[in-house]
Chain A
Amino acid sequence: MTLRNKRIVMGGEGGQGVQAAADILAQAVFEEGKEALYIPNFGIEQRGGVSLAFVQIGGEPIGSPKFKYAHLIVALSGRSLERLQGYMSEESIILYDSSLLAPPQVSDEVIGWQCYDTIAPEAFAERRLTDRRQSFPEIPRKVKYIFGLPASEMAQNKLHPRVANIIILGATARFTEIVQLESIKKALEERLANKIKRDPALKDLNYKALELGWEAAGRMIKIPVSTGKIFKR
């Protein structure tokens, strides 16, 4: 049986490192000898606006580089989540950085759970990140699951604020159920080769961030989550 392809779209504010995370994910899958395609959403607005990245990975040949519905939607900011709504279907899993976003308003139409890492992120988020916090937009469509991961919070408290996207990458990678953590590490190391040469500590820092995300995702997956049907009107 061929491994079915997964479609992933990641979104964030320009500078949050969305493109790097998506690129590394695709690269890692490629290194495993599987099919992979990454394309950034580029355009005149690319500076300072919302930045989207499209990734397709798996065992089947890949058709068009962009797609309508994503299996996995990863949002690092509220604005980007709004942009990502068009890619949601009943099959979609949403992962978002809950330290930057207020928890979703779960309307009757919206299905899912918020799954948090064991630490309660909200208090920290309130205290440190109020100005960066954005409201979670209403999700108009039915989706499969929603997961919140306080990546920025975790990065700031445990590692370094700059590696929030790497925590998200770790979690995203695990959710794909296609790629090994080791491959992501290798791709990440390759990508950061020059920087690591200058500052060897960076390697460990990024590996830790990856692992944090990867493990958090593992815990989130284990938590039983409701399916759409329960919430149907």
Chain B
Amino acid sequence: MINQPVVQEEKLLTRPVGEEKRAFMYGNEVVVWAALAAGTEFLFGYPITPQNEIMHYWSRLAPRYGRGFLQTEDELSAGFAALGGIMTGARCFSATAGPGTVLFQEPLSMAEMMRIPLVLVVQQRGGPSTATVIYSQQEVFLTIFGGNGEGLRVVYSPGSHQEMYDFTIKAFATAWEYRFPTLVLGDGYQAKMREPVTLYDPRKKGIDLKPPFPLVGLKGVPGVDREPAHWRNAFSVEEELFEALKPVIDDFHRAAPSLSEKEEGFPEGAELIIAAHGIVGRSVRAAVRELREKDIPVGFFRPITLRPFPDKDIKNVLSACPRLLVVESAQGQLAKLIRIAVGGELEHALKMYAYFRPGLGITAEEVVQEARAILSGERENEAAMSLF
């Protein structure tokens, strides 16, 4: 009786999306359908553009499928309420952006310490400060390393509505399997644009959405039938913390190879690799395709997980072609991650060029132009790197 879910797991998983269907949707709506299909019980949220429609769609659809919604007083409350719900064994999530992502660091860091499978969708907007409500890729560091701690989180950076659907579902699977907070890092463009997506029931695709489990509110009288569940995040001495934290960090690193994902294109014989993530990856993919059609030897690399980063893969690609152009709507956040990932000798050999447009969209034409300029020797890589 005690830990009875509001809705039975069976129902949570099957009802919203039955047969596979192609739809023309806004990204925020895609997120909602993915969360519904993944059997998510609750959304706790606070309004901020450009993620508002996640709350709008959810509050309309949730009652239809027996799910819950609460508009909280701020993002701190949204995050901690989600943590509370999750610890009772309910899949819960939230969505935010910009200054909201800043406030979310507090619940995220509690989730890291206590291994609470919190799922957060971030639709990046311009920064720093209030900046724009439109678009950027400036929340990379905030989502992966924000908070006081070690960045023990999984961060997916999807580049299309299909991936937004796939990886939102996957975020719930990952969070509950590995018990690390898992984020889906979208952006204002992805949130507000409409494009095709195929919705499906994850179970029919063989996606293993393990049933959620409670961490508190367990069966039996605590102290009589069972031990009480006691969860803490504060420790009195250094050694105690170190001992508690070590296995968490080890778990994260052990899981990293199976968690990291990437996309590569045309690496064979490439004389320049162009790296980008998220929606900018689309422009880069299109640019590389166009250049290859003209027999210009360029390839591309797109990390899908920004944390854990696909270190090995990028090393492999860059060992074969140590010339790299990083394209991002931020001032070198991805470029820094790549530098850390590459490290060692390769870092010395690496010629890195930058096309940084903080808070600005980047088109395929710009990428084509920049790649051509680099290949014809019109750009200096050292100068680019000093832009950090």
Contacts and interface: CB of A to CB of B under 8 A. Distances in A.
A65 B24 contact: no
Nearest to B49: A42
- Counting chain A residues whose Cβ lies within 8 A of the other chain, the interface size class is 20 to 34
A209 interface: no
B370 to A, nearest CB: 13
Nearest to A29: B24
Interface string A199-223: 0000000000000000000000000
A37 B363 contact: no
Interface string A19-37: 0000100110011000111
Contacts of B189: 39, 64-66
Nearest to A27: B24
- Counting chain B residues whose Cβ lies within 8 A of the other chain, the interface size class is 20 to 34
A193 interface: no
A61 B282 CA distance: 9
Nearest to A44: B133
B280 A26 contact: no
B196 A63 contact: no
Contact of A64 (B132, B188, B364): B364
Interface in B357-376: 361-366
B193 A43 contact: no
Of A26, A37, A42, A65, the most chain B CB neighbours within 10 A belong to A65
Given A30-B24, A43-B132, A43-B133, A65 B193 contact: yes
A170 interface: no
Nearest to B361: A66
Interface string B19-48: 000001000000000000000000000000
Contact of A63 (B24, B193, B282): B282
Interface in A62-92: 62-69
B170 interface: no
Of A23, A38, A42, the most chain B CB neighbours within 10 A belong to A42
B310 interface: no
Contacts of A37: 193-195
A40 interface: yes
Of B132, B279, B361, the most chain A CB neighbours within 10 A belong to B361
Contacts of A44: 132-133
Given A64-B279, A64-B282, A23 B192 contact: no
B134 interface: yes
A68 B363 contact: yes
A68 B282 CA distance: 15
B363 A63 contact: yes
A66 B363 contact: yes
Given A31-B24, A42-B49, A64-B362, 11 more contacts: A26-B194, A38-B195, A39-B193, A42-B50, A42-B188, A61-B286, A63-B282, A64-B282, A64-B283, A65-B279, A69-B365
Leading 9 A-B pairs by shortest Cβ distance: A63-B286, A39-B193, A30-B24, A63-B364, A64-B283, A38-B194, A37-B195, A65-B193, A63-B283
